[in-house]
Each structure stands twice: as C-alpha cells, then as structure tokens.
A and B are shown apart, each in its own frame.
Chain A
Amino acid sequence: MNKTMGVLIVGLALVIGIVPLFTDCLSQGRMLTTTAGTNVPMKCHWTAIAEIGLAIPLALIGLINIFSKRKETLGSLNLLGIVLGALAIAFPTVLIGVCAKPDMICNMIMRPALILAGTLTILSSVMVEVKAARMQEIAA
C-alpha cells in the first residue's frame, strides 16, 4: 500500500505544482494595472508560486514512501505530508487566496483543483500513517 500511496502522492505533488501555473490569471494574460500605470500579477499568481514551493517536498515524501520500508521514516514523513496537504488547501483559500470574481479561471479550476489535490494528499498520508502505526504495533 505504501508504494501505491507513494505514487499517488507524487502524482498529487505534480498536480499541485503544475496545474496552478496554467490556470492562474497571469497565464491567461490578465494583470492588475496600478494607479501608476504598471501591470502587476493578481494574487492567484502568488498562490501558484507558493504551491510550487510546497509541491517539491511533497514529491520527495511520495518518493520516500515508494522506496522506504522503515516504519519510523514513514510515520514521521507522512505527518509532514498531512501538513503539506493542508497548506495546499490553505494557500488558495485562507493564506493568499485567488481573484474575487467567481467566473475567473483561477476560481473555476485552480482553487478547486488545489482543494481536491490537498484533500487527497491528506487522505493518502493519513492512510500511510495508520499503516506505519500498525507496523510499529506489530513490531512491538
């Protein structure tokens, strides 16, 4: 199961890291014009950037899940996986957010995709965590 979950987490990390880059408003050529006349990216772009930073350690956790058999490693790493999954949800919803208009691409695709991927990451990490705890119980 750990290997399957590891592959799933790597896939989810790819979704979290890549999908926002193609579904933020900047990717559609939309920017904010300041009173000074300069164009700046909207906040969904910064969410997309933050998600890349989050996807890298998550992918590493997935890879370690595939190759590691040590229950202590799996147990502690997947706790981090749960936190990263929660952060993947928190960036577009609470911490940074996305654009306000409900019909913008970041609201229609990026935000729900990140919430879904974050939820699945948390579930997968919880499953490995439970499995690791059971392995520790059996070993004891």
Chain B
Amino acid sequence: MSLLQLAFKTISGNSFRSGVVFLCALLVAAFALFTTLLIRGAESSLRLAIDRLGADIVVVPEGSEAKVESALLMGVPANIWMPRDTVQKIAAVNGIEALSPQLYLATLADADCCSVSEMFIIAYDPQTDFTISPWLQGHLGGGLRLGEVVGGSYIFATEGLQNIRLYGYLVTLKANLEPTGTGMDQSLFLTFDTAQDIAYKSTFQAEQLLEIPSDQISAVMIKVKPENDPRVVALQIMQTVPGVTPIESSNLFQSYRKQMTGLLKSILVILGITWALSVALIGLVFSMAANERRKELGVLRALGATRSFIFKSLLAEASLMAFFGGLAGVVLAGLVIFLFRKLIVVSLGIPFLLPSPLALLLQIGAGLLLALFSVNLAALLPALRISRQDPAIAMRE
C-alpha cells in the first residue's frame, strides 16, 4: 500500500477528525483569501480612480474636500460651488500645463422626471478638458455632442435602448467607461452645453429645477508641467488663490485610506486569532489521533514500516486534508467576494475592484499554501512523537 493510499484510507476511516481538520483548513484559507482580495481590491480601485481622474491636482472650494472624495469614490452627489474666475486666478500660477473646470450635479431623489435617483453627474468643458476627452477620442472618435452622455460601468439606458431621463430631458448614452470599483462607475459625464440645456428645459420638463449658479463651477482639474513638482504648484495655488483647496492626486482619498488601514489592522488581528486557534485545534486533534492510533501504528512498525514511513504517512494525511480543505476555502471565499462585492462595497464603505486572473491565481495559491503550512505545522509534533515510539511498547499498551 502506497503512502497516499494509506493516508486516504485513514482519512475516510475517521470522518469526524478529518472533518474538523478540513474545516480548520477551509477557515484559514478562506479568511486569508478574503482579506487579501478585499484589501488588494480596494487598493487597486483607488489607484485606478486616481488614474481615471487624469489630473495631478484637483482644486475644490475650501472645506469641501471630504464631499469631493465621497463623490468621486462612492458616487455620493456633491453640491459645491466656487466662482468661475478662480480658473483665471489658478492659470496665473507657474508650472501649470493645462486646467479645466467641472460642474458637479445630481439627479433628483425618487422623482418621475429622473430615471435614476440621486445619480452623480460630472459636467466638463470640452474646450479645455484633458480628463475624459482623450478617452472619448480613442473610443468614440470625437467628443460628445449636445444631449449625449457617457456613463460609468454601472450606468445603463432606462428609456428605450440608449436613453436616460434627466430632469425630464432624454439624453443619449453613447458609451460606458471601464469599471474602477468606485463611485465613478455610477456617475454620468456630459458637456457644459448639455448641462445648461438640461437646466434650461428643466423649468418646464422637471418636477424640480436643475439649478446651475451662473459664473460658478465645482472643481478645477489641473495638469502640471512634467518638470514641475505638483506639491510646489499646489502650495502656490493655496498661497495665491483664496477660498480654494488644492488636492494632489496622490493625496486624494486620504480619509478612505485611513479607514482602510484601520480595517486592515482589525482584519489582520482576526486573521491572526483564527490562524492561531485553528493551528491549536488541529494540533489537539492530531495529538488525540496519535494516541488513539498508537497500537495501529505499532503494528505497522512491527510489519516492517520504517519510522520515516509512519512520519511521512501522517504528514501526507495532514497535507491531503489541508489541500482539500484549503481548496474548498479559497473557492468559497472567491465565490462569496465575487457574488457579494456590491454589498461589501456598500456596507464597508470602501471601493472594490476584482483583481486580474493572474493576480487572483497567485492569491489563491498563497491561501492554499497557508492552509498547507498551518496544518503541517500543527501535525508536525504529534507525527514526530508517534513515529519515534517503540512498536513493542505501543502494541502492549
């Protein structure tokens, strides 16, 4: 009988013990993969959101930083305004290559004139925009015309095949952006002209007027010249333009990063406790099994099995249970995180994006390795002890 056959026979012979070890391995692997996927998913989502923003600095009205972060990251509409002449004041600062104003708007909540309730809308100036226009140029071969919009990955047409109703105004959804896992996936992008047209027609088409204060904007996106340091430019803007706050893209979403760090710490503590308890429980189960099987293993030794064979068979048994338990754990964790990702985003308040297949495979491999390591570590001492016992004494007991 080979090592693996013996291990399989022993596993099927004691379903309770095998079940406990299987469950512990499942728990360790599932929790490890879940944690890694969650944290990595949030990190990559934040990085992608900053890339999508396409600006080195975002200038917002003073005191509205948190609102802007919530809007960009979680799609919570922000109603913030600053004078339009801020653009000219910022343009006077040295080191700026391009700058473009944006308007932040939102649809009405539970109103018949809006197909989607409280949706975040970003209006951009097609003359100066450098954030979404390159994408539009690449994917649509040109900019958006009056009445046309592009949406995040979650946006879909609600009226007919291509239309969405905004303040009673039917806009045409031209395309969807790639998912980022952030609020941008639930946002709509349109030009200043379309926003003004919707606002004008909302007086007689909508339940409530869309108000865009004249000569006001919500934010200014800035691209810094390659030879200049964005930090220095941001400092200059802060010193020369009153009433605004420049946020460097690398500093964006700081509050969410802090929240994620806190979450990571808590999860790591829980993971550590789960791991330690699982290893202790598996160790206990193997010690009990080793005591129960003293006679059986003594007979094996008397029949000619070497110490090394006994030791290896016990570790093979542990490895098999760890492998199958770990496999079930990573499959379960992967399935849960894939199916419930939207619920996780909403309940934890963090963005999330699934990793690439290669990264996912690596993380699954790491989860399986952790399960194998943990179970083998717990089984090592009992396996060593029982393989060293004298067969004559073991059989006599």
Contacts and interface: CB of A to CB of B under 8 A. Distances in A.
B335 interface: yes
Interface in A1-27: 1, 4
Q: Which bucket holds chain A's interface residue count? A: 10 to 19
Nearest to B336: A116
Given A103-B346, A107-B342, A109-B343, A119 B335 contact: yes
A103 B340 CA distance: 11
Interface in A101-140: 101-103, 107-109, 111-113, 115-116, 119
Given A108-B342, A108-B343, A102 B154 contact: yes
A100 interface: yes
Contacts of A111: 339
B100 interface: no
Nearest to A100: B156
Contacts of A109: 340, 343
B5 interface: no
B335 A103 contact: no
Contacts of A113: 339
Contacts of B335: 116, 119
Contacts of B19: 4
Contact of B339 (A1, A4, A112): A112
A115 B339 contact: yes
A109 B339 CA distance: 9
B186 interface: yes
A100 B335 CA distance: 22
A103 B186 CA distance: 10
B15 interface: yes
Contact of A112 (B154, B158, B343): B343
Interface in A72-103: 100-103
Contact of A116 (B158, B186, B339, B342): B339
13 contacts: A100-B156, A100-B158, A101-B116, A103-B186, A103-B346, A108-B342, A108-B343, A108-B346, A109-B343, A112-B339, A112-B340, A112-B343, A116-B339
Given A1-B15, A100-B156, 10 more contacts: A100-B158, A108-B340, A108-B342, A108-B343, A109-B340, A112-B340, A112-B343, A113-B339, A116-B336, A116-B339
